Amino acid sequence: MLPRRITALAIAILAALAAFWCVRDMSARIRLFLQEHPPNIYAFLPLLAREFTFADRTVSLTDESPPGKPATLLVRYGDAEVRVPVTIPPRHKLPGLVTHEDWLRVMLFAPRSGMTMEAFEEGVRTGKIETRLAIVSRTPPEGFDPEGWGAVRKKDWTFDFWELKTDGSIEHKTLKYPTARGLKEPRPGELHENTWEFQAALLLMPNAGKKGPTHNFYGDALSAAGWRLPASAFCGLIATVALAFAAAPASRGGGFSWRTGRTPGPVT
């Protein structure tokens, strides 16, 4: 049985060395990718007041309920204005913008990679961090109860983003709920990770921490690992199986005999 154990042990060692090389090379590639493409992490500070100042201009948000027409939220930013459709009617009359918290957020935001939230808030307060201002809304599928099937049919959600630029203009875009999974390229017109729109939209998704969008590895550090990730797992599996064969005790029986049709007793 000695040659079998030696063969199995040799295979285990070779497979372990191959797995070690794959993991080492994969780690180096991921580290290089992160250095060249650092992830964008944004912090968001919600604003609940209906009137405030941004970029030396007055911002106001007023509810409109014209007879026979859908309700809107009138946004005035200096000389510019836009009407945001109310996609989920408020259940209660609450102060400020809390009334619309289920479907809309007004937020100051900026990158905060490598910074604690406390340091970020201090930087915003002192003016050391330049922030942007956005109004984000979530629209459930039409014809469904927003608190029933409308909350379940997440893939039919759309998100609107109105960014109030420092030049006094309002920039608008609409993106759909992300559906690309694994390493698939994001579909045009959908939210994509590593963007401020994606991270802002998460704040409007009920139970996003538990039932949020499926993680997509396209274009991130894990995708830089390439074939080395499955190769290291496969080599690790081979090493484990081979080591188990090498450590297995020798059989004391003669095994099943096709000639006699029975299993001989123990060897004495």
Mapped onto helix, strand or coil, the DSSP state of residue 24 is helix
Inter-residue contact 65 to 99 (CB < 8 Å) = no
In DSSP terms, which residues pair with 172 in a beta bridge? 162
d(CA 239, CA 80): 66
Q: pLDDT (tens digit, 9 = 90+) per residue, 204-215?
A: 987 765 666 776
Say if 166 falls within a structural domain.
Answer: yes
**44 occurs within a structural domain:** yes
Which backbone phi and psi does 108 adopt, to 5 degrees?
-85, 140
Q: Which of the four pLDDT bands, split at 50, 70 and 90, describes residue 252? A: low
Model confidence pLDDT, tens digit, residues 63-91: 998 888 889 999 999 999 999 999 988 88
Cα–Cα dist 32/19, whole Å: 20
pLDDT of residue 267: 47
Residue whose C-alpha is closest to residue 51's, from 43, 42, 60? 60
My answer on whether 199 and 71 are in the same domain is yes
Q: Are residues 203 and 100 in the same domain?
A: yes
Q: Which domain holds residue 9?
A: 2-34+224-247
| Overall domain count for the chain | 2
The reply to whether 15 and 66 lie within a common domain is no
143 and 44 share one domain: yes
Same domain membership, residue 232 and residue 110: no
pLDDT tens-digit series, residues 3-14 = 777 888 888 888
Share of the chain above pLDDT 70, in %: 81
Q: Residue 110 domain-assigned?
A: yes
Say which residue the tokens 């935001």 belong to.
Answer: 109
Same domain, 155 and 50: yes
CA angle 104, 109, 112 (to 5 degrees): 140
pLDDT at 256: 46
Closest CA to 169 of 53, 79, 64: 79
Residues 161 and 65 in one domain: yes
> Do 40 and 196 meet the contact criterion of CB atoms below 8 Å apart?
yes
Give the model confidence (pLDDT) of 12-55 as tens digits.
888 888 888 888 888 888 787 777 777 778 999 999 999 999 99
In the Cβ-directed half-sphere of 89, how many Cα atoms lie within 13 Å?
Answer: 6
Whole-number Å distance between alpha carbons of 31 and 27: 6
